Amino acid sequence: MARVARSVLVINPENNDRVIIPSDQDAPEWVERTYADRDDFWSPEWPPPRRAARERARASEEAGGLFDPGAHNLQEVRAYLDGLAGDDSGRVERDRVLDAERAGKARQGLVGE
């Protein structure tokens, strides 16, 4: 669960409802998904889990080269895959990571088998 740093007005993308989340309150999961990359929303002590996982995955990649899905939990691997570019290089890296996952842990949440 992530916590907002200040009161925010958000719009639910599923039904366009406007919702005010008071300062220092936990945000619903859909807010975490929709606004994960907004630095101004989140309390530093309680960032959205997907964002934190994506940042850990990027740091790992920068420190040691290729991203190894076997060295990360399911949430971190999903966050890494979600953060890849939509171009050819992103698709190649996505295929490489999923192939490594199939050859390793083969978690159903990633490879769907």
**Phi-psi region at 106: left, alpha or beta (left = phi > 0; alpha = psi -120 to 50):** left
pLDDT at position 57 is 66
Q: How confident is residue 52, by pLDDT bands cut at 50, 70 and 90?
A: low
pTM of the prediction? 0.46
pLDDT(86) > 60: yes
Task: Return the pLDDT at 47.
Answer: 63
pLDDT at position 99? 87
- Show Cβ contacts of residue 7 under 8 Å, excluding neighbours closer than 6 positions: 20, 21, 22, 23
Q: What is the mean pLDDT of the chain?
A: 78
